[in-house]
Amino acid sequence: MSDTPDNLSDLYKIGTVAKLTGIAVERLRAWERRYGLTPASRDGKTRFFSAEQVERLTRIKRLIDQGHPISTLINLSSEALNERLQALAPMAAKTSTGAAPSVALVGTQLLMLEQSNAEATRVTVSGRWVNLDVCLPELAQLTTANGLPDVLVALQGSVTADSLDRLDSLPNSMARLVIYHYATDAGLAAAADRGLTLLRWPVSWAEIEQAVARLARAPLKAGRHAPKRFSDEQLLSIASASDGLGCACPADLVNLISALNAFTDHSAACAPDTDFSTDAANDARPPRHARIAERTSSARLELELVLEDWVTAEGLLPIPN
């Protein structure tokens, strides 16, 4: 029997909710199964959500984007959600000034990667630890006012539900970036539930900087070219594997990434070595084409990170466990 009210004008289908909130339909259904997220109404298999629920989910999505696990949010009152959102204000004020986002690095290989980075970094490393055992107790004592980093960057050997549970003890205002060697299906599902950003090792320092900037909502100054995250062969494989998804977005992302790669090559071939411009004080600036290549590289990396979310969620490339 349908429990749908006569007037559906104030209710939204799950697909519309996904578009309004930025939360994928699959994730909303997973929250219903795991955390009891109950639609306002049903008509057969069709789920309907109220405007109040949409507003609440929008606030939850903002907090998840800052690293808050869904398990700690789903049962909070509206007042508690607002308190957590207000706690994000200091970070927003900091990043709006253009200050470099601050990070805590955890993992021996990450520390070695930072040390091997020959160029000036575009993030501020405020803490370094070899593992979570020594990191977590120290970070738990910090607040935004006394030096809490914007983002934790942690390298894990394997992503599992248990390993991610350890990150729940971190202050809620601190975003999380997990870099991993291997992952179980359950671990990837747990990361998706928490809204965590994942990168597969090996990564470049430029990729870490870009991911940190996204999490901290802070723009990065122009810098070196980010290396390609996918080979041409992998892009073709992803586009082919996405045919059965019922959505062309992964293939469209492949087209955009390929176009940016082609334009970067064209720009490099087009630029003479003497292509400089000067400002009013006659100070030399970087070549215009070099700046084009830097910005294009940054844009391409943003799209690659989005595509990687699809690859991980839909298994568009084989991932050894």
Structural domain boundaries of the chain?
11-65, 90-216, 232-314
**How many contiguous H segments (helices) and E segments (strands) does the chain have?**
13, 8
**pTM above the 0.85 mark?**
no
- Say what the pLDDT of residue 235 is: 87
Average pLDDT over residues 111-122: 75
Which of these CATH numbers, 3.40.50.2300, 3.40.1360.10, 3.40.190.10, 3.30.565.10, describes 90-216? 3.40.50.2300
- Say what the pLDDT of residue 1 is: 32
Q: In what helix (H) or strand (E) does residue 52 lie, and over which residues does it extend?
A: helix 51-65
Q: Regarding predicted confidence, which is higher, 98 or 188?
A: 188
pLDDT grade for 144, boundaries at 50, 70 and 90:
low
pLDDT grade for 178, boundaries at 50, 70 and 90:
very high
Edge-to-edge, what's the strand order for the sheet holding 46-50? 11-13, 46-50, 41-43
- Say what the pLDDT of residue 210 is: 80
- Say what the pLDDT of residue 321 is: 39
State percent of the chain over pLDDT 70.
78
Residues with Cβ within 8 Å of residue 245, at least 6 apart in sequence? 314
Domain 11-65 sits in CATH 1.10.1660.10: yes
Q: Which of 35-49, 84-98, 246-260, 261-275 has the lowest mean pLDDT?
A: 84-98
Q: What is the mean pLDDT of the chain?
A: 77
